[in-house]
Structure formats: C-alpha cells, structure tokens
C-alpha cells in the first residue's frame, strides 16, 4: 500500500512582462489547444489534489486575476522583477499556515505532465528526504540554460549560465526551473538567497546550494526536453502547440481512430474521439467536441462544442457549432452548418444548408439550400421538424415554426406557419409562362443597341 502523500500546494510564476509576445493579452493566457497555458498547469495541479495554488503575477496581473478568481486560486504580486527566488517569496503570505509540499512551476511552461509533477513529489518524500527536488532535462542545444552538476541523482552544484565556467557549460543536464520542496524548508532558504551574481538577481536555484551548505542534499529527476519547453514568443507558442498536437494525435490513434493525414488534424484540449473513427485531412476541432465510435469525418470540417453519435457521417466542408447534436447514422454534408441544432437518428442534411436553433426528427431529409430563419434581429427562435419529414431544396423555415412528422415542404417554399403531420406545404408564388416573351425581349434589346 502506497503511503499517503503530505498536503500539496503549487506556486505558478507568471510575473514576466512577455514583451517578445507583442500582445495585449498576458503571455500565460495565450492558448494551447484552445486552453490558456496557465489553465493547462492549474488543471494538472488540481488533478493531483493540491489544497492551494498561488499564481505570482506582475505586469498585467488584472488579467491573471480574472483567470484565477472563478477557479478560487490566489494571486500574489511581484511588483519588481528581482529574480525567481524573489518571485516565489511573494507567495509566502498566500501560503501562510501551509505545512505540506510545494511545487514551483512556470506559467509559460505548460506541457509538464501531472505524472512528472507526481514524480517530483514522490522523490521529495523518498526515504533519503532530499531538501529540494529539481526537474532537469537534456536539450539538443543547451543554449543559456542553467546547469546541474550531479552524481547519480544527487545534485553537486547548480549554476546559472552567466556564472558558469567553461567546464560547467559543457554539462548537458540543464535546469528547467521547476522544483519541489517542503514549505518548512522553502521559506527559510529563500530568505537567505542573495544577489551577488552577474545579473544582480535573486536566483531560485541558489536554495539548492544553501541547503548543501547546511549539509542537506538535493536531488534531480529528468524529463524530456519537449515537456519543459517554454513560451516567450509567438514562434515558441507555435512550437509548443505543435508538440501538444503531436502527442494528442498519437493518443487518438492509439485509442483506435484513423487519422489519414495526422499532421493536418487539429485537436482541442478536451476533444473526445471514439474507436473506429476515420478523420480525413484538414479537420479542426474546437473545444467541447465529442465524437462517438464509428463516425466518419470528411476533409475540411470544423467541429466545436458539438457531439456526433455513432456511425454518423460529417462533411466534407461541414461546420458544427456549439450546441450541435448529430444523431446516430445521421449525415451532415458539404457546406452545411449546424448551430444549437439536434439532428435525429438517420436524418440527412447533405448540401448547402444552415440549421440553427432547430430540432430535427429521425429520418428527416433536409434539401439543399434549406435555411432555418432563427433570428429576427432581437431574439432567437426554434424550428421543429418531425420524424420522416421532407424539406425541399431552397426552403426557408421562418421560426418559430413546426413541421409535422412525415410532412413535405415543397422546394422553394417560405414557411411561416406550422405544417401538420403528413401534409404538403407549398408556400411560393404560382408560376406564369408568357409564350414568345423572351424572343421579343431579345429583339427589342438588339434594336435599342443598333440605334
């Protein structure tokens, strides 16, 4: 039986100005797979059962507070950027009285997994009880990362790149910045950190060497470089998005779906895809999409906030907007848009159609060019179509209106009243033919041009 872990808290550093993003939106609120980077981290921390989470903000803190408030998360303020140790220290007040383990994370490093966070906490609580656990990685290019000198997994020295000797810079194990420590150790160590270094900043990694000076060892665990990729620019945001998408596609395929051209399919953070689903190239999922088993999604379709039941066929060039529900074996074809519309089992809308605020019965057929006129400039209204109804091409159904089960609406109709079950509705002007009119018209125009 696994021993119960101590209580857990998390500190997420998000005080950077993010100037390289060139954006009015706070850097950590830029989305990956449709969710703010900060949200990816706070979700994972919550999944580990953290009792408290504190976000340390600086410039743009109002935006961070707007994110944190609905989630009940605390925000601490770093008014001056004096280094990472100083930033962590700003969370002390929000964690007053907390006596458990503390994870230190970065708001612009969103891909670190809950499993890796758990490994850090497990290592902190291992029998040798290290003072600090540091998450290290080995990038292809060590660039200007701080280095970790270790024997086994015990840290001998940590040094910032600016302050490292040539020999230390040759070390490939780098510091991600992510750490775990017990609250009882963290605050006293932070209080002792100085700024006698090349940048004049209070460096968080110094707490490892301060613990060593007290005769207490610290440990390092390693993660893949992709997992600790940071975001400081739009290009890096795109790179991290690509990493997330690649992993998500791999999971979808491992769970039994076919992605014909995986690199062209874009998933959201919460996309659910069942078994034996086939997804053609250039399909995009926004947040809130659920795809059941056996669904086929043809190319260039966009699905967001919608559910698709077993065996349905979507696209190509279909758009399912929030509130769309596609029933079993239903068809939504090319250039068809659904918004807050339920398409019953086996129903078909195969061409050039808009169905908004609609309830469409099983087995119905919606002809090409059909529109539910659901908005009058002030309110939205519902169209109800019964089972087995047939709506002819280029019909406009002016809501609120109900088409009874088995009814037929003639092509080109503008329906403004309810149609009874099994009735035929013809709501269009009568046709009038004028023999010879076209020929006389052409002759008249030729004569006018000849003058």
Determine whether 263 is exposed, middle or buried from the number of CB atoms within 10 Å of its CB (0-12, 13-18, 19+). Answer: exposed
Whether omega for the bond prior to residue 316 falls within 30 degrees of 0, making it cis, is yes
Q: What is the pLDDT of residues 67-105, one digit of tens each?
A: 999 999 999 999 998 999 999 999 999 999 999 999 999
The residue length of the chain stands at 451
In terms of pTM, does the model score above 0.85? yes
**Which residues are marked as active site?**
351
The dihedral sign for the CA sequence 169, 173, 174, 175: negative
Least confident of 164-173, 182-191, 210-219, 220-229: 164-173
342 pLDDT band, cuts 50/70/90, is: very high
Q: What is the pLDDT of residues 133-178, one digit of tens each?
A: 999 999 999 888 999 999 999 999 998 888 889 999 999 999 999 9
Instruction: Please give the Cα distance from 384 to 353 (Å, whole number).
Output: 16
Give the position of tokens 């060019």.
369
C-alpha distances (whole Å) from 372 to each of 13, 338, 359, 415 are: 49, 10, 11, 10
The pLDDT, as a whole number, for residue 3 is: 63
Q: Is the pLDDT of residue 1 over 90?
A: no
Angle between helices 114-124 and 37-47 (to 10 degrees): 50
Question: What is the average pLDDT across 412-422?
Answer: 98
Structure letter (DSSP) for residue 342: E
C-alpha distances (whole Å) from 377 to each of 100, 303, 341, 373, 380 are: 56, 26, 19, 11, 8
């Amino acid at each position: 039986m696994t021993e119960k872990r101590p209580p857990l808290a998390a500190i997420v550093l998000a005080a950077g100005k993010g100037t390289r993003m060139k954006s009015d939106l706070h850097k950590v609120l830029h989305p990956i797979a449709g969710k703010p980077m900060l949200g990816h981290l706070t979700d994972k921390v919550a999944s580990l059962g953290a009792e408290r989470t504190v976000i340390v903000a600086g410039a743009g803190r109002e935006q961070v507070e707007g994110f944190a408030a609905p989630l009940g998360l605390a925000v601490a303020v770093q008014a001056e950027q004096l280094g990472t140790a100083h930033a962590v220290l700003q969370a002390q007040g929000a964690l007053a009285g907390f006596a458990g383990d503390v994870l230190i994370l970065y708001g612009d490093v969103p891909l670190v997994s809950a499993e890796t966070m758990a490994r850090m906490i497990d290592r902190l609580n291992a029998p040798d009880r290290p003072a600090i656990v540091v998450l290290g990685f080995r990038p292809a290019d060590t660039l200007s990362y701080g280095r970790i000198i270790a024997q086994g997994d015990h840290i001998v020295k940590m040094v910032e790149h600016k302050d490292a000797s040539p020999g230390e810079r040759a070390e490939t194990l780098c510091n991600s910045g992510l750490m775990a420590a017990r609250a009882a150790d963290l605050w006293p160590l932070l209080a002792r950190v100085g700024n006698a270094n090349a940048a004049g900043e209070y460096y968080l990694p110094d707490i490892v060497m301060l613990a060593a000076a007290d005769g207490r060892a610290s440990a390092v665990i390693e993660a893949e470089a992709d997992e600790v990729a940071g975001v400081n620019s739009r290009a890096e945001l795109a790179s991290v998005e690509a990493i997330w998408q690649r992993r998500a596609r791999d999971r979808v395929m491992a769970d039994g779906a076919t992605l014909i051209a995986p690199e062209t399919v874009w998933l959201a953070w919460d996309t659910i895809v069942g078994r034996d689903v086939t997804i053609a190239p250039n399909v995009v999922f926004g947040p809130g999409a659920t795809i059941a088993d056996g669904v086929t999604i043809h190319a260039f379709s966009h699905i967001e906030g919608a559910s698709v039941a077993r065996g349905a066929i979507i696209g190509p060039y279909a758009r399912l907007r929030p509130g769309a529900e596609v029933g079993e074996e239903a068809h939504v074809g090319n250039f068809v848009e659904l918004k807050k519309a339920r398409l019953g089992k086996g129903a078909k809308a195969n061409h050039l159609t808009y169905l908004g605020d609609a309830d469409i019965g099983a087995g119905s057929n919606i002809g090409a060019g059909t529109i539910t006129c659901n908005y009058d400039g002030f309110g939205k209204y519902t169209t109800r179509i019964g089972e087995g109804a047939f709506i002819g091409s280029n019909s406009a159904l002016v809501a609120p209106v109900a088409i009874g089960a088995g009814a037929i609406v003639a092509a080109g109709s503008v329906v403004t009243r309810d149609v009874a079950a099994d009735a035929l509705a013809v709501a269009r002007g009568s046709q009038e033919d004028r023999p010879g009119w076209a020929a006389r018209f052409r002759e008249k125009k030729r004569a006018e041009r000849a003058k």
